[in-house]
Amino acid sequence: MKIAFIGLGNMGGGMAANLVKAGHDVRAFDLSQDALDAAKDAGCATFTSAKDAVANAEAVVSMLPNGAIVRGVYGEDVIGLAPTGAVFLDCSTIDVATARDVISSATEAGYDMVDAPVSGGIAAANGGTLTFMVGGSADAFARAKPILEAMGKAVIHAGDAGNGQAAKICNNMLLAIHMAGTCEAFAMAEKLGLDPQTFYDISSVSSGQNWSMTSYCPVPGVGPQSPSDNDYQGGFATALMLKDLRLAMEAADASDSAVPMGSRAAALYESFDGAGNGGKDFSAIIKTY
Ligand code: NAD
């Protein structure tokens, strides 16, 4: 397929390369020349504007920083400029309301579109092992699925437009809550005289077990290899977790949802990020306990 790809940063670069590997004709655009050069090396054709990249595309994939940029790119350079009938896949993490608005504008103009945010970081983007949570009509999902399968290991239909973003922020709010809770429990266990490994051996087979503990333990040297074993480098940056928590708090307000634990986790990550830790893996928050 002829696929335009807009936004070839840390995530989009690897995703576009995987579309090339799957045999697609990928037409890349990014504001950054470095990103475009890397895309060219990966086998993409490169363009100097989004309009040119989408001109003959059967599908458009985007991986952009935020909702305002997604709205601008689709509003100015994609809707009405890509061939009628093309399918659009926005894989960026953005607010639910913007995702629904942009999909509604695209649909009115005769395109199919899904929101398809991802779980998994840069390594998963490079390795083609992302999980996609997808919002949109059944037809739009059916068209998007084979494209997403070339970039991921799981593609799940979450329901109507915007539901992919809803799933993403609810999941990441829960992740922040159980990471903070896991850090809290390890820190208190230690103060009460328990060795962290012993606490892990007990809690990992008891009812406190959770992903932050057994797949991503914030305590160095405990559990499987994780960013804590590498001085909290790599992994999922605190700044990105905070971005998702802010989106979650916005969605909670808009939907009148009570999120006492989520808002506490958001406040903890606000202050951890504000203290200059935005580049560290989000499990480094254990240092504050
Ligand atoms: P990034 O900043 O590395 O990449 C974004 C790219 O978009 C940049 O190359 C930038 O030049 C480009 N860009 C910005 N405005 C543009 C425009 N108007 N037209 C064309 N290109 C434009 O960010 P990233 O880490 O790749 O993240 C992308 C999205 O993926 C974000 O929404 C992020 O929340 C989400 N995400 C990131 C991760 C991660 O681990 N990095 C994990 C899951 C989801």
Average pLDDT rounded to a whole number, residues 275-281 = 97
Q: For residues 5-40, b (16+ Cβ closer than 10 Å) or e, as one string?
A: bbbbbebbbbbbbbbbebebbbbbbbeeeebbebbe
Closest C-alpha to 6, from 86, 68, 77, 75: 77
**Ligand 1 probe mutation, 10, 33, 244, most atoms within 8 A of CB:** 10
| Domain range summary for the chain, segments of one domain joined by + | 2-161, 166-288
For the chain, how far is it from start to end, CA to CA, in angstroms?
Answer: 51
CA of residue 34 to ligand 1 center, whole Å = 14
CA of residue 63 to ligand 1 center, whole Å = 5
Pairwise CA distance, residues 215 & 9, whole Å: 27
Paired with 156 in beta bridges are 133
Average pLDDT rounded to a whole number, residues 193-222 = 98
| pLDDT value at 250 more than 90 | yes
Give me the CATH topology for the region 166-288: N-(1-d-carboxylethyl)-l-norvaline Dehydrogenase; domain 2 (1.10.1040)
3-state secondary structure 173-210: HHHHHHHHHHHHHHHHHHHCCCCHHHHHHHHCCCCCCC
* Band of residue 67 on the pLDDT scale cut at 50, 70, 90: very high
Average pLDDT rounded to a whole number, residues 149-170 = 98
Question: Which residue's alpha carbon is at the smallest distance from atom 30 of ligand 1?
Answer: 92
Q: For residues 66-100, b (16+ Cβ closer than 10 Å) or e, as one string?
A: ebebbbebbeebbbebbeeebbbbbbbbbbbebbb
For domain 2-161, give the CATH number. 3.40.50.720
CA of residue 239 to ligand 1 center, whole Å = 13
Pairwise CA distance, residues 280 & 32, whole Å: 24
| C-beta of 9 in contact with ligand 1 (< 6 A) | yes
Percentage above 90 pLDDT, the chain: 98
Q: What is the pTM of this model?
A: 0.94
CA of residue 8 to ligand 1 center, whole Å = 7
| C-beta of 29 in contact with ligand 1 (< 6 A) | yes
Q: Is there a catalytic annotation at residue 191?
A: no
pLDDT at 121: 86
The model's pLDDT over 1-43, given as tens digits with 9 standing for 90+, comes to 999 999 999 999 999 999 999 999 999 999 999 999 999 999 9
Closest C-alpha to 94, from 76, 108, 114, 123: 114
pLDDT at 222: 98
| C-beta of 268 in contact with ligand 1 (< 6 A) | no
Pairwise CA distance, residues 111 & 99, whole Å: 15
| C-beta of 171 in contact with ligand 1 (< 6 A) | no
Question: Which residue's alpha carbon is at the smallest distance from atom 17 of ligand 1?
Answer: 31
What ligand 1 atom has the least distance to the C-alpha of 35? 9
CA distances from 18 to 98, 117, 127, 186 (A): 27, 17, 8, 39
Pairwise CA distance, residues 162 & 137, whole Å: 10
Tally of CA atoms within 13 A in the half-sphere of 180 that contains its CB: 21
Classify the complex by whether its ipTM is higher than 0.95, answering yes or no: yes
Mean pLDDT of all residues belonging to the chain? 97
| pLDDT value at 262 more than 90 | yes
pLDDT at 234: 86
The model's pLDDT over 72-122, given as tens digits with 9 standing for 90+, comes to 999 999 999 999 999 999 999 999 999 999 999 999 999 999 999 999 888
Percentage above 70 pLDDT, the chain: 100
